[in-house]
Amino acid sequence: MNQGLCGKQVTIQNTSTGQTATATVQDTCPGCSAGSLDLSPSVFNQLGDASQGTLPINYWYN
């Protein structure tokens, strides 16, 4: 991940439901695969149920 993105706003969309959430990039996620985001519990819960574990998403920087 590009550390220059820290502090930027990102909009995340659950592609299954269309639900969106806006978050601030806080840090890198070395264990995440390319194109993945490690979401805080509060942002994850805006997009889906935590029991899902992972969500199909698209995201863009604002």
Dump pLDDT digits (tens) for 24-56: 999 888 888 888 899 999 999 999 999 999 999
Length of the chain: 62
**Is residue 12 classed exposed, middle or buried when 0-12, 13-18 and 19+ CB atoms within 10 A define those classes?**
buried
Query: How many Cα atoms are found within 13 Å in the side-chain-facing hemisphere of 56?
Result: 4
- Residue 57 predicted with pLDDT over 90: yes
Q: Which has more pLDDT, 2 or 27?
A: 27
Residue 32 DSSP code: S
Q: Which domains does the chain have, with CATH numbers?
A: 3-61 (2.40.40.10)
pLDDT number for residue 29: 82
